[in-house]
């Protein structure tokens, strides 16, 4: 029984199919990168996996049971989400936001205990926002906010973390830190699914990639097999030069299709 | 809760108690303040004192219920204003935003119009309460789409549309009634918001809903906080967002309907008190909601006291709240950086 899976899942709005016949089995201990052009359905797939959207056909299951039949609270303890849009209008402190990750673990009259506080601190340290803990989220940069939301997902202690382009507004150093953090979390046994535009990062850090195109998952497998010049030309419409690092991962340099490399 | 927050709460409580005491002790009927406090104490402890009976009557049967009504209304409106601002994630939200107040106004004037001959203390409150809840129910029903999903923007716009229709109908009924001077006067008085002649009967009307509703809302402060970070975000953290939002709107509407029914439309408290306290305490609803209740109660009790002391029946609590609250709010806005992000 898979921990988390999409089984021939469709998501349709009227006539349009935003996800069509997607089957995906992110596995514990694995870092799955979800790649594809804008509008190819990456975010929809993440939402289906998190139970935020219900498939119009097919199924999304958690521990073998249809996600619709899970209480939200129980899902929240198992699947954490780092949203793409982290904009906030309300001046909460960083710690307030990260502490919200404990919500599904606490009863209404139950204050944070010592263990909750320890989990919150550890989450802030791992996402490198510990020194920001007293700051207001409204005063942070976009990249800092994204790390705060990563910390919040860690505070949930959920075994699966779904991230929607978490590095979109991070500088190169913090982006690398985020990839390495996800890599480490996967190695510790978490299920990591990350929608990501940086194909070099997908090739280097992920165990598996799933390639989305127009709502369909057109290829999945280990990066070395899937990410080749042919597929990248097909899906993204770019020409890719492939380089191989000494450590065995591939790196790409892209050129617009039809524009020859100099 | 930090020490600073604890101090803020202590200050708010002291201010409210002081406002209640002053508002009861001071008035146009000539009872010396010291004796007034004595009488209050005796009334509470059940003792008799050697002062004229009318003084005790004025205090216990006229001033005290009026002051307590003002406190409950101010507290209830400020708290529901804070809740609405959180539900709609909109700084302009106030308790009447989804048509509660305009529905109440229409209900009240209709009831007054129909009961013009058989004048009853309960006519306006009953009509207002029915109008408020009816209007809210219609707005909520209009805004709920497929599978019970309610979009906040739709709710907001439906509230504005239904609200303006209610205002038009209110004006129409008012125009119909202008030939009967006394009925028209009653209606205008209600529409402007009034604490005049509020008795223990009114307190009994407003008390249970306001207190139970405020308590329920306060206990959901952390859920509201999570909701502020976004709908999907709240869902993913384990909150049943549609159910939570429905229950929050139901309770906030009940509290607002209860207060509006008893005293009419009192503007500004529900908008300004939550803002002022958010600037002081930050946006955490676990602290903000109870603080808004205390602050709103103090504010309205004080405003009403100023009206009475000015001995100008033309000076309405609603006018005072706006005239005093506006500048105070602007001051806080200039002082603090903990404003809405911009």
pLDDT of residue B195: 82
Q: A24 and A88: one domain?
A: yes
A23 and A66 co-located in one domain:
yes
CB-based contacts of A138, cutoff 8 Å, min separation 6: A88, A89, A90, A91, B341
CATH class label, B3-335: mainly alpha
Q: What is residue B340's predicted lDDT score, i.e. its pLDDT?
A: 47
A25 with A53, same domain: the answer is yes
Using CA coordinates, name the residue in chain A closest to B285.
Answer: A92
**Start-to-end CA span in chain B (Å):** 27
Displacement of CA B139 from its chain's centroid (Å): 20
Answer yes or no: do A232 and A262 share one domain. yes
Domain shared by A167 and A234, yes or no:
no
| Alpha helices (runs of H) in chain B, residue ranges in sequence order | 3-25, 33-45, 53-57, 64-87, 100-114, 123-143, 152-177, 181-192, 200-219, 221-228, 231-236, 241-263, 269-281, 285-309, 317-335
pLDDT band per the 50, 70, 90 thresholds, residue A175 = very high
- Sort residue B202 into left (φ over 0), alpha (ψ -120 to 50) or beta: alpha
- Nearest-by-CA chain B residue for A88: B229
B322 CA: distance to closest CA in chain A (Å): 25
Q: What is the pLDDT of residue B190?
A: 80
Q: How far is B241 from chain A (nearest CA, A)?
A: 9
Nearest by CB to A91, from B219, B226, B341: name it: B341
* Residue A81 and residue A119 in one domain: yes
pLDDT < 50 stretches in chain B: 339-342
Whether A238 contacts A256, CB under 8 Å: yes
- Provide the β-strand partners of residue A136: A93
Burial of B281 (0-12, 13-18, 19+ CB in 10 A): buried
Whether residue B152 contacts residue B281, with contact meaning beta carbons closer than 8 Å, is answered with no
pLDDT of residue B117: 54
Domain that holds residue A252: 228-262
Tell me, yes or no, whether A150 and A261 share the same domain: no
Distance from CA of A156 to the nearest CA of B (A): 8
Q: Is the per-residue pLDDT at A258 higher than 80? A: no
Number of Cβ within a 10 Å radius of residue B185: 12
Q: Residue B35: which of B55, B64, B61 has the closest Cα?
A: B55
Residue B319, pLDDT score:
79
Q: Do A77 and B338 touch (CB under 8 A)?
A: no
CATH code, domain with A77: 3.40.50.300
Residue B291, CA distances (Å) to B46, B218, B294, B297, B326 in order: 32, 10, 5, 10, 19
Containing H/E element for A122? helix A114-126
Domain identity same for A112 and A41 = yes
Contact: B240, A72; criterion CB under 8 Å? yes
What tokens does A91 get?
A: 């001046």
Q: How many domains does chain A have?
A: 2
> Which tens digit of pLDDT belongs to each residue from A106-160?
887 788 889 999 999 999 999 999 999 999 999 998 889 999 999 999 999 999 9
Contact B236 A91 (CB under 8 A): no
């Amino acid at each position: 029984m898979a921990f988390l899976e999409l089984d021939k899942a469709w998501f349709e709005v009227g006539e349009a199919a935003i996800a069509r016949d997607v089957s995906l089995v992110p596995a514990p201990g694995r870092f799955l990168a979800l790649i594809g052009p804008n509008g190819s359905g990456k975010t929809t797939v993440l939402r289906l996996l998190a139970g935020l959207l219900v498939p119009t056909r097919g199924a999304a299951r958690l521990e073998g049971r249809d996600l619709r039949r899970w209480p939200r609270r129980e899902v929240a303890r198992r699947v954490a989400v780092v949203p793409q849009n982290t904009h906030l209008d309300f001046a909460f402190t960083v710690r307030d936001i990260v502490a919200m990750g404990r919500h599904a673990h606490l009863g209404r009259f139950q204050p944070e205990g010592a263990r909750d506080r320890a989990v919150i601190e550890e989450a802030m340290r791992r996402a490198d926002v510990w020194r920001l803990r007293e700051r207001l989220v409204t005063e942070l940069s976009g990249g800092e906010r994204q790390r705060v939301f990563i910390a919040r997902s860690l505070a949930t202690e959920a075994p699966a973390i779904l991230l929607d382009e978490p590095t979109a507004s991070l500088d190169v150093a913090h982006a690398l830190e985020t990839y390495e953090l996800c890599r480490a979390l996967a190695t510790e046994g978490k299920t990591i699914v990350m929608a990501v535009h940086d194909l070099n990062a997908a090739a280097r850090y992920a165990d598996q990639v799933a390639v989305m195109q127009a709502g369909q998952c057109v290829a999945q497998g280990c990066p070395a097999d899937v990410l080749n010049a042919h597929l990248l030309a097909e899906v993204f419409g770019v020409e890719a030069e492939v380089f191989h690092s000494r450590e065995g991962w591939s790196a790409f340099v892209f050129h617009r299709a039809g524009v020859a490399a100099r | 809760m930090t020490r600073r927050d604890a101090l803020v709460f202590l200050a708010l409580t002291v201010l409210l108690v002081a406002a209640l005491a002053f508002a009861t002790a001071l008035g146009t009927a000539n009872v010396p303040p010291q004796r007034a406090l004595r009488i209050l104490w005796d009334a509470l402890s059940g003792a008799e004192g050697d002062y004229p009976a009318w003084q005790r009557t004025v205090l216990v049967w006229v001033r005290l219920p009026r002051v307590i009504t003002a406190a409950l209304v101010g507290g209830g409106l400020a708290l529901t204003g804070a809740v609405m601002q959180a539900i709609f994630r909109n700084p302009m939200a106030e308790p009447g935003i989804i048509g509660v107040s305009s529905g109440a106004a229409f209900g009240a004037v209709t009831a007054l119009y129909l009961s013009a001959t058989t004048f009853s203390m309960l006519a306006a409150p009953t009509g207002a309460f029915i109008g408020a809840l009816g209007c809210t129910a219609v707005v909520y029903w209009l805004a709920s789409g497929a599978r019970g999903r309610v979009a906040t923007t739709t709710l907001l716009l439906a509230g504005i549309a239904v609200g303006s229709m209610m205002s038009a109908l209110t004006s129409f009924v008012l125009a119909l009634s202008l030939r009967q001077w006394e009925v028209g006067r009653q209606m205008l008085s209600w529409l402007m918001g009034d604490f005049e002649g509020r008795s223990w009967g009114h307190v009994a009307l407003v008390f249970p809903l306001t207190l139970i509703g405020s308590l329920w809302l306060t206990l959901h402060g952390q859920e509201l906080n999570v909701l502020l970070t976004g709908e999907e975000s709240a869902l993913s953290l384990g909150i049943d967002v549609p159910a939570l939002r429905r229950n929050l709107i139901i309770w906030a509407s009940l509290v607002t309907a209860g207060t509006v029914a008893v005293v009419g439309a009192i503007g500004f408290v529900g908008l300004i008190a939550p803002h002022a306290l958010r600037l002081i305490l930050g946006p955490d609803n676990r602290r903000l909601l109870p603080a808004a209740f205390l602050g709103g109660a103090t504010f309205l009790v004080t405003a009403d006291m100023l009206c009475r002391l000015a001995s100008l029946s033309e000076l309405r609590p609603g006018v005072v709240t706006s005239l005093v609250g506006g500048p105070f709010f602007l001051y806080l806005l200039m002082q603090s950086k903990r404003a809405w992000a911009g």
